[in-house]
Amino acid sequence: MSLQPFYHSAVVVFCGPHDEGEYVPMRRIDQAILLARNTRAPLLVAGDGNYGSDVQWFARRAGQSGIAYVRAFYDERASTLADAQRIADELLVNPPLMSVVNVHLVTDDWHMNRATAILAGELARALRERKPRVTRIPVRNGPRPPAHILEGERQGLEDYLAGRYGQRRAHAPYGKPCEEAPAVK
């Protein structure tokens, strides 16, 4: 009988926009895989406005890269808040992850402020006793989004901190295809 490992750290990656042409960009998952490999931490993949296709693709890529513990989470609400809630719930109820106190968040640098605030807030809400620390691992090698997306990021952060996240109309998820499955390189 083998014992399950208990982890003190986890790597979380939020799937990114399709902003590099017709292919699913690999910049976020590749950075997350490298970090998970170097730290021997589990990799949790969330954040998908593409009907679950991207999280599954990222999870397969991580598994094929030798990451031993990979979990993928899709929430049809397709919001950073829903994704952070799924991660927090997983750290609350999954025994190997119930000792995680360090969460390394991998996402694009322009998305980092809002994503960190939301993930840290939802972790604090769900894991009151543990108080996990979120470490920012920004990805800087992707295209810059349009100004209205950057403004939406700032407004989303402000709304979350004010307790009104999701109450105003938001743009559709940036850079996500409408109905098509992602092309694979």
| Confidence (pLDDT) at 57 | 92
Q: Is the pLDDT of residue 181 over 50?
A: no
Tell me the residue range of the domain where 145 lies: 9-161
**Which amino acid is located at 20 in the chain?**
E
In a domain, residue 118? The reply is yes
| Confidence (pLDDT) at 51 | 82
In a domain, residue 127? The reply is yes
* Tokens read off for 47: 């954040």
The pTM score is 0.89
pLDDT, one tens digit per residue, over 64-119 is: 999 989 999 998 888 899 999 999 999 999 999 999 999 999 999 999 999 999 99
CATH code, domain with 153: 3.40.50
Residue 166 to residue 160: CA distance in whole angstroms: 8
> Total domain count for the chain?
1
pLDDT, one tens digit per residue, over 136-159 is: 999 999 999 999 989 999 999 999
Beta strands in 87-166 (DSSP E): 102-108, 133-139
Q: Is the pLDDT of residue 185 over 50?
A: no
